[in-house]
Structure 1
Amino acid sequence: MKYYIIAGEASGDLHGSNLMKSLFEEDPQSEIRFWGGDLMERVGGTLVKHYRELAFMGFAEVIQNLGTILRNISICKKDIEAFAPDAIIFIDYPGFNMRIAKWAKKKGIPTHYYISPQIWAWKENRIKAIKRDVDHMYVILPFEKDFYEKKHGFPVQFVGHPLIDAVAQYRATADPQFRERHQLDDRPIIALLPGSRKQEITRLLSEMLTVVPNFANFQFVIAGAPSQDFDFYRQFLVNKNVVFISNETYGLLNVAYAALVTSGTATLETALFKVPQVVLYKASPISYQIAKRIITLKFISLVNLIMDREVVKELVQNDCNKKRIHEEFTKIIQDQGRTKMLQNYDILIDKLGGEGASKLTAQLINKNL
Structure 2
Amino acid sequence: MKYYLIAGEASGDLHGSNLMKSILAKDPDAEFRFWGGDLMEKVGGKPVKHYRDLAFMGFLEVALNLKTILRNIKFCKEDITKNRPDVLILIDYPGFNLRIAKFARELGIKVVYYISPQLWAWKEGRVETIRKYVDEMLVILPFEQDFYKKHRVDAHFVGHPLLDAISGLKDISPENFKKEHQLSDKEIIALLPGSRKQEVEKMLEIMLSVRSHFPEYQFVIAGAPSLEKEFYQKFTDKNVHFVSNKTYDLLRCSKAALVTSGTATLETALLKIPEVVCYRGSKISYAIAKRLVKHIKYISLVNLIMDREVVKELIQEELTTENLVSELQKIISGEKREVMLDDFAALREKLGGSGASEKAADIIVSGL
* Shorter-chain TM band: over 0.9
Q: What is the CA–CA distance in structure 2 between the aligned matches of 1:122 and 1:174, rounded to whole Å?
A: 42
Partner in structure 2 of residue 42 of structure 1:
42
Judged with a 3 Å threshold, the aligned counterparts in structure 2 of structure 1 residues 23 and 55 are, in CA distance, closer, same or farther, namely: same
CA-to-aligned-CA distance 1:276-300 (integer Å, 9 cap, x gap)? 0000000001101101111121000
Write out the 4+ residue segments of structure 1 that deviate beyond 3 Å after TM superposition: 171-176
Which is further off, 290-299 or 164-173?
A: 164-173
Deviation readout 1:299-354 (Å, 9 max, x if unpaired): 00000000000000000000011111111111111221110000000000000001
| Preserved CA contact (<8 Å) 2:190 2:254 | yes
Displacement of 1:356 in angstroms is: 0.5
Alignment check: 8 A CA contact 1:216 1:241 kept: no
Instruction: Find the aligned partners of 1:254 and 1:29 in 2 and give their Cα distance.
Output: 37
Cα distance in structure 2, aligned partners of 1:180 and 1:356: 34
Map 1:232-247 → 2, pairs under 5 A = 232-238=231-237, 240-247=238-245
**Alignment correspondent of 2:53:** 53
Q: Secondary structure at the match of 1:55?
A: coil
| 1:209 maps onto 2:194 in alignment | no
2:307 alignment partner in structure 1: 308
Separation in 2, partners of 1:264, 1:156: 23
The secondary structure found in structure 1 opposite 2:185 is: coil
CA distance in 2, matches of 1:3, 1:172: 34
Q: Distance in 2 between matches of 1:22 and 1:243?
A: 36
Deviation at 1:229, TM superposition (A): 1.2
Taking only aligned residues, the RMSD between alpha carbons, in angstroms, comes to 1.2
Say if 1:47 and 1:318 are closer, same or farther in 2 by CA, change over 3 A: same
Q: Classify the secondary structure of the residue corresponding to 2:88.
A: strand
How many Å separate the matches in 1 of 2:347 and 2:181?
31
Give the partner amino acid of 1:307. Answer: M
Q: CA deviation at 1:256?
A: 1.0
Matching residue's letter, 1:112: V
What corresponds to 1:293 in structure 2? 291
- Contact 2:277–2:311 (CA<8 Å) still a contact in 1? yes
Supply the distance in 1 between the matched residues of 2:106 and 2:143 (Cα, whole angstroms).
30
Residue equivalent to 2:82: 82
Match of 2:71 in 1: 71
- Give 3-state SS (helix, strand or coil) of 2:169's partner: helix
Q: Percent identity?
A: 60
Which aligned pairs between 1:187-336 and structure 2 lie closer than 5 A? 187-238=186-237, 240-296=238-294, 297-336=296-335
User: In the alignment, is the contact (CA less than 8 A) between 1:9 and 1:93 conserved in 2?
Assistant: yes
Q: Secondary structure at the match of 1:245?
A: strand
Decide whether aligned partners of structure 1 residues 62 and 322 sit closer, same or farther in structure 2, where only a CA change above 3 A counts.
same
Q: Which runs of 5+ in 1 are unaligned?
A: none
Does 2:127 align with 1:130? no
Give the conservation status (yes or no) of the 8 Å contact 2:159–2:352. yes
Q: Aligned partners of 1:79, 1:203: CA distance in 2, in Å?
A: 35
SS of equivalent residue, structure 1 residue 186: coil
Give the residue type in structure 2 aligned to 1:103: F
- Letter in structure 1 aligned against 2:291: R
* Cα distance in structure 1, aligned partners of 2:199 and 2:356: 29
Q: Which moved more, 1:31-40 or 1:222-231?
A: 222-231
Q: TM-score, normalised by structure 2?
A: 0.98
Q: Distance in 1 between matches of 2:34 and 2:174?
A: 29
Q: Distance in 2 between matches of 1:128 and 1:109?
A: 19
Distance across 2 between alignment mates of 1:245 and 1:43: 24
Cα distance in 2 for partners of 1:122, 1:29 equals 39
- The equivalent of 1:107 in structure 2 is 107
Displacement of 1:171 in angstroms is: 3.3
Structure 2 CA distance for aligned equivalents of residues 312 and 295 of structure 1 = 20
Q: How many residue pairs get matched? A: 367
**Contact (CA 8 Å) 2:27, 2:365: kept in 1 or not?**
no
Mind listing any 5+ residue stretches in structure 2 that lack a counterpart?
none
- Given that 1:174 and 1:251 are in contact with CA atoms closer than 8 Å, whether structure 2 keeps it comes out as no
Match of 1:178 in 2: 177
How far is the alpha carbon of 1:227 from its aligned partner?
A: 1.2
Provide, for residues 234-272 of structure 1, a one-character-per-residue CA deviation record: whole Å limited to 9, x for no partner.
Answer: 11114x221101111011011111000000000000001
Could you say what secondary structure the match of 1:183 adopts? coil
CA distance in 2, matches of 1:339, 1:176: 24
For 1:332 and 1:23, the matched residues in 2 are separated by 40
Q: Distance in 1 between matches of 2:169 and 2:257?
A: 19
Matched position secondary structure for 2:298: coil
Measured in 1, the distance between the counterparts of 2:172 and 2:231 equals 30
For 1:214 and 1:320, the matched residues in 2 are separated by 16
- Scaled by the length of structure 1, the TM-score of the pair is 0.97
Instruction: Please say which of residues 310-319 and 293-302 is displaced more in the overlay.
Output: 293-302
Q: Aligned-pair distance for 1:81? A: 1.4
Cα contact 1:194–1:223 (8 A) shared by 2: yes
